[in-house]
């Protein structure tokens, strides 16, 4: 848990904004930047969640295991875990000696410093979210996070945001530097592929609860649906249609297992014209109706609780 000697500069974060920080105090700048030192997310293990933020977790001891969008990862000392807005995260195990620092920023703040614009870094996050540093480089990064904390506390300084953005850009360049010796310089075609995939990801996060067809996103990007799906698959391993389904099913399963919302209300939230359309869509992908899925999950949770007790 982060510690701060000034109670006025460390505030609890609304769990609706960032589930990672539920019940934890952080250094923060409005709703745009969050910093947690000595981050030990034991309360998040075995729970799937996603955030609208760009997140970096810097490990200086122990290890952490989990999945991002269904792909397993292991985070060890002198490594950083990077996640993009909208990705689904599930933590499975953390060692008792885990030591981490977590930074997160809103899409607006990330775009102000062009984080993720470089093809190599964006592509690396999609394919392998864990970045390896040398001890010296990790020390430099942790020193930068200490400067973040200091800057966030300077609430009356007229250039506070500008200074923080400068520090974040420096740290971002340290990330990119670590890829310099291991990643080849992308050609023009690869740069275009990475740029299209990144723009698709942004459009998807903003529109998936209203627009369910690849044609909408292809039109926004002035591409054919087939070409967009091919490019997105090259960059991420999955087609554009797969990602649309992934976002919709992720939210549908969460609403059905974590809330008591009626199926009709869930259909409305996810942009389906009626409960019947949502039910057919869900059944084709899960093999059961939404109501049956909720019953199964409720029973499973009850059995798990009884076993635990």
In a domain, 172, yes or no: yes
Q: Tell me which residue range forms the domain holding 259.
A: 193-308
Higher pLDDT, 101 or 125: 101
Residues 225 and 132 in one domain: no
Report residue 88's pLDDT band, with 50, 70 and 90 as the boundaries.
confident
Which of 45-54, 66-75, 87-96 has the least mean pLDDT?
A: 45-54
Higher pLDDT, 77 or 89: 77
Report residue 308's pLDDT band, with 50, 70 and 90 as the boundaries.
low
Beta bridge partners of 45: 91
pLDDT at 282 over 50: yes
Q: What is the pLDDT of residue 148?
A: 92
Highest-pLDDT range among 48-52, 196-200, 221-225: 221-225
pLDDT at 260 over 80: yes
Find how far residue 1's CA is from the centre of its chain: 20
Q: What is the pLDDT of residue 118?
A: 44
Domain count, the chain: 2
Residues 127 and 66 in one domain: yes
CATH number at residue 40: 2.60.120.280
In a domain, 173, yes or no: yes
Q: What is the pLDDT of residue 114?
A: 56
Residues 69 and 136 in one domain: yes
Residues 301 and 211 in one domain: yes
- What's the rounded mean pLDDT across residues 234-256? 90
Residues 158 and 283 in one domain: no
Higher pLDDT, 209 or 126: 209
- pLDDT, tens only, 11-43: 323 334 455 555 566 788 888 898 988 887 777
Verdict on whether the full-model pTM lies above 0.75: no
The token duo for 13 is 């974060």
Report residue 217's pLDDT band, with 50, 70 and 90 as the boundaries.
very high
Report residue 234's pLDDT band, with 50, 70 and 90 as the boundaries.
confident
Which CB contacts under 8 angstroms, 24+ apart, belong to 279-284? Answer: 281/248, 282/249, 282/252
């Amino acid at each position: 848990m982060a510690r701060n000697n000034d109670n006025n500069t460390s505030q609890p974060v609304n769990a609706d904004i960032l589930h990672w920080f539920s019940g934890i105090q952080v250094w923060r700048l409005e709703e745009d930047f969050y910093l947690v030192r000595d981050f030990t997310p034991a309360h998040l293990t075995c729970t799937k969640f996603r955030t609208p933020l760009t997140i970096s977790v810097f490990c200086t001891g122990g290890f952490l295991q989990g999945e991002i969008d269904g792909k397993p990862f292991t985070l060890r000392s002198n490594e950083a875990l990077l996640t993009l807005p909208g990705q689904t995260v599930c933590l499975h195990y953390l060692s008792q000696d885990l030591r981490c620092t977590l930074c997160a920023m809103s899409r607006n703040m990330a775009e102000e410093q062009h984080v993720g614009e470089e093809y190599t870094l964006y592509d690396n996050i999609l394919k392998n979210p864990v970045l390896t540093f040398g001890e010296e480089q990790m020390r430099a990064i942790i020193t930068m996070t200490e400067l973040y904390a200091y800057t966030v506390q300077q609430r009356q300084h007229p250039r506070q945001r500008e200074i923080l953005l400068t520090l974040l850009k420096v740290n971002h360049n340290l990330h990119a530097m670590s890829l310099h010796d291991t990643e080849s310089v992308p050609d023009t075609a690869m740069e275009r592929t990475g740029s299209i995939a990144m723009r698709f990801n942004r459009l998807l996060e903003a529109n998936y609860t209203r627009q369910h067809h690849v044609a909408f996103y292809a039109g926004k990007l002035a591409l054919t649906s087939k070409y967009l799906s091919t490019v997105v698959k090259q960059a991420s391993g999955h087609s554009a249609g797969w990602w649309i389904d992934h976002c919709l099913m992720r939210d549908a399963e969460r609403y059905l297992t974590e809330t008591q919302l009626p199926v009709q209300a869930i259909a409305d939230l996810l942009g389906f014209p009626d409960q019947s359309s949502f039910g057919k869509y869900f059944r084709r992908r899960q093999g059961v109706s939404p109501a049956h899925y909720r019953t199964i999950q409720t029973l499973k949770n009850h059995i798990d609780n009884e076993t635990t007790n």
